[in-house]
Amino acid sequence: MDIFKQTETDLLAIIAEYVGDDLRLVKDKIKFSVPPAKMSADYSTNAAMVLAKVKKQAPPVIAQAIASQAQSIQYVNNIDIVGGYININYTKDAWKKFLGEIILAGDHFGDGQPRERVLLEFISANPTGPLHIGHTRGAILGLALDKLLTKAGYQVTTEYYINDYGVQIHTLLRSIHFRYRQACGLDVNTPLPAGCYPGDYLLPLAASLQKKYGDRYINCPETEFYKRFKDEAVDAMMTLIRQDVADLGLTYDNFVSETKIVESGAIDQALSFLAPKKVTISDAEGQTQEVDLLYQGKLDAPLGRPANEQEQEDSRHDTGCQTLFRSSVFGDDRDRVVKRSDGSTTYFASDIAYHYDKIQRGYPILINLFGADHGGYVKRLTGVVRALSDDQTRLEVQLMQLVKLEKNGQPFKMSKRAGNFVLLSDVVKQVDTDELKLFILSKSADTPMTFDLVKVKQKSQDNPVYYIQYACTRTFSLQRKYQSVFGADYIYQSTDWADLPLEHPLIRQLASKLARYPSLIQQAARHRAPYIVVTYLQELASLFHSVWGTQLKFIDTNNQPRSQAMLALTTSVQTVLVSALACLGIKPKQEM
């Protein structure tokens, strides 16, 4: 049961009877909320203010009329009218019944009704090496979104798109070949060739190739080496990546290979689906015309900067028979190439095929988590998903601001050449992953973050993790204490609530905060925003710590009924703390 939801339903029924048909004019503006603590009311609505216009009466008059009806609702104790607000107080029995239901529901308290299937794609880093620190935010946010949306009722599938097709894989194989030759004793003092990937992570793979094949492939031509070892190389890199995400407590439902998409002919299928489609555009004079969504043409020079030499060169050779997607009708700066004039397909074409595949797998909602540096890609991709699904599938791209790195307050730039590359696994080794998660999740994805490589290892006060986990450990320690005082484990019984001091404002606020949880989960899920859960956790922890600091003792050796009531409250707080932490992919601590 959701006590607030129940109130909304009951009050809306009373209001509907009172206003009649005019209600639909203003129904969206009627809001319900928990009033500020100083108002000492449990729940409140602005309905009277909103209805003032349609009823042509002063808000207090309307409020009075609604209140007199609502007074008879069984769980309502009293109603105050303050300004235009209608403020409701519940009976103590209603609160006790509700708090008991939290404990009975346990892990399922706050679960949403079943909702749509969602395909959540995140990280999808090139399989050319282990994840680095720049991927941390995406990994942690993706994990939390999975948990949060699942809690809210969505059926979530997580997916990693393996970009195993393109020049970066050639570079990878070239790098491996070089390392393999070194493993065979060649080029040992030769510096790494330009463009090759540095880092030690290729050495084990090179060594194992040497062990398996000796020096058989030392002079193997690049293309042949590529064909022979590409799959093995990508598998090895994906093993590293899987390990990295596993260290954060994350496993994916699916891994989808770009190569497989391309080789299956899916690009041509998707393009032939788009080929007959027309869109309406209007020219400068406001004349509209129907044009093809895909067309043959030639893309103009880059916008906003002069073309470089390579681009001028490419442009001269271009015969003007590129295949273009008219992404400009979807708000993109310009149309985008899907097939070059030599017939080869672009990365965007692979992505079209990949998203066509997602649509055909029957997901009405696709969520992609991108770094802010991919912001320019959003419009063409959302546009093509609309076209591919005839507007039936919604692609949401959640952009994350990049994490700025610092070392002791000084900006820190990662550079492949300088070798100061910070791997995700290095960070995970040095900090508690739950601390890292809560730190990352405590801010909106839209907020740029600074990550200090030195300070993160120190126990920092601005990390909310200690505050929240401390509240959690206190709930567990109370249960242990109860056991040591009364000689038996605390086991909840519905009669335990009898002596709960609900007249105390802090206890009332705590109950109210717990009651807010189900709608909070929906709100956070709707906004795809785990940080909303973190904010809530801090508020809940704060209230619990406040109660701890009052004269109200949780455990009173001389008063077992009172202790049972306080332990019941503690258990309901613990239920919600544990549940909310689980929505973030974080485990509760039982002891600090």
Partner RNA sequence: GCGUCGGUAACUCAGUUGGAUAGAGUGUCUGCCUUCUAAGCAGGAUGUCGCGGGUUCGAGCCCCGCCCGACGCACCA
Using CB under 7 A as the binding rule, the residues of this chain from 395 to 414 that contact RNA are 399, 401-402
Point out which residues pair with 370 in neighbouring strands.
399
Residues binding RNA: number (CB under 7 A) = 100
Phi, psi of 541 (to 5 degrees): -60, -40
Smaller CB separation from RNA, 190 or 447: 447
**Does the protein bind RNA through residue 554 (CB under 7 A)?**
yes
DSSP states of 290-322: EEESEEEE-PPPPSSS---HHHHHHHHH--S-E
The number of C-alpha atoms within 13 Å of 216 and in the hemisphere containing its C-beta is 9
DSSP states of 524-568: HHHTT-HHHHHHHHHHHHHHHHHHHHSS--S--TT-HHHHHHHHH
Q: Within 238-257, which residues bind RNA (CB under 7 A)? A: none
User: Smallest distance from the beta carbon of 440 to RNA, in angstroms?
Assistant: 12
User: Smallest distance from the beta carbon of 20 to RNA, in angstroms?
Assistant: 20
Q: Quick check: helix, strand or coil at residue 364?
A: coil
Contact between 6 and 38 under an 8 Å Cβ cutoff? The reply is no
Question: Closest by alpha carbon to 200, among 179, 218, 226?
Answer: 179
Q: Within 115-134, which residues bind RNA (CB under 7 A)? A: 126
User: Smallest distance from the beta carbon of 67 to RNA, in angstroms?
Assistant: 13
Contact between 511 and 75 under an 8 Å Cβ cutoff? The reply is no
List the one residue from 459, 495, 498, 561 that touches RNA (CB under 7 A). Answer: 459
**Does the protein bind RNA through residue 340 (CB under 7 A)?**
yes
Q: Quick check: helix, strand or coil at residue 400?
A: strand
Contact between 581 and 588 under an 8 Å Cβ cutoff? The reply is yes
**Does the protein bind RNA through residue 546 (CB under 7 A)?**
yes
Q: Within 422-451, which residues bind RNA (CB under 7 A)? A: 442-444, 446-450
**Does the protein bind RNA through residue 376 (CB under 7 A)?**
yes
Q: Within 55-84, which residues bind RNA (CB under 7 A)? A: 82-84
User: Smallest distance from the beta carbon of 187 to RNA, in angstroms?
Assistant: 26
Smaller CB separation from RNA, 57 or 473: 473
**Does the protein bind RNA through residue 22 (CB under 7 A)?**
no
User: Smallest distance from the beta carbon of 68 to RNA, in angstroms?
Assistant: 18
**Does the protein bind RNA through residue 348 (CB under 7 A)?**
yes
Stretch binding RNA (CB under 7 A), from 115-123, 139-147, 259-267, 300-308: 300-308
List the one residue from 20, 221, 265, 302 that touches RNA (CB under 7 A). Answer: 302
Q: Quick check: helix, strand or coil at residue 188?
A: coil
Smaller CB separation from RNA, 57 or 444: 444
- Cβ contacts of 287 within 8 Å, gap of 6 or more: none
List the one residue from 375, 409, 419, 561 that touches RNA (CB under 7 A). Answer: 375
**Does the protein bind RNA through residue 504 (CB under 7 A)?**
no
Stretch binding RNA (CB under 7 A), from 95-103, 209-217, 346-354, 578-586: 346-354
CA atoms of 537 and 582, how far apart (whole Å):
11
User: Smallest distance from the beta carbon of 286 to RNA, in angstroms?
Assistant: 19
> What tokens appear for 458 in the block?
């120190």
User: Smallest distance from the beta carbon of 157 to RNA, in angstroms?
Assistant: 22
- Cβ contacts of 525 within 8 Å, gap of 6 or more: 112, 148, 149, 151, 152, 153, 154
Q: Return the exposure string of 497-512: e unless at least 16 CB atoms fall within 10 Å of the residue's CB, then b.
A: bebbebeeebbbbbbb
**Does the protein bind RNA through residue 334 (CB under 7 A)?**
yes
List the one residue from 273, 466, 486, 492 that touches RNA (CB under 7 A). Answer: 466
Smaller CB separation from RNA, 277 or 527: 527
Residue for token pair 């990662």: 414
**Does the protein bind RNA through residue 307 (CB under 7 A)?**
yes
Residue for token pair 């406001």: 286
Stretch binding RNA (CB under 7 A), from 17-25, 92-100, 142-150, 330-338: 330-338
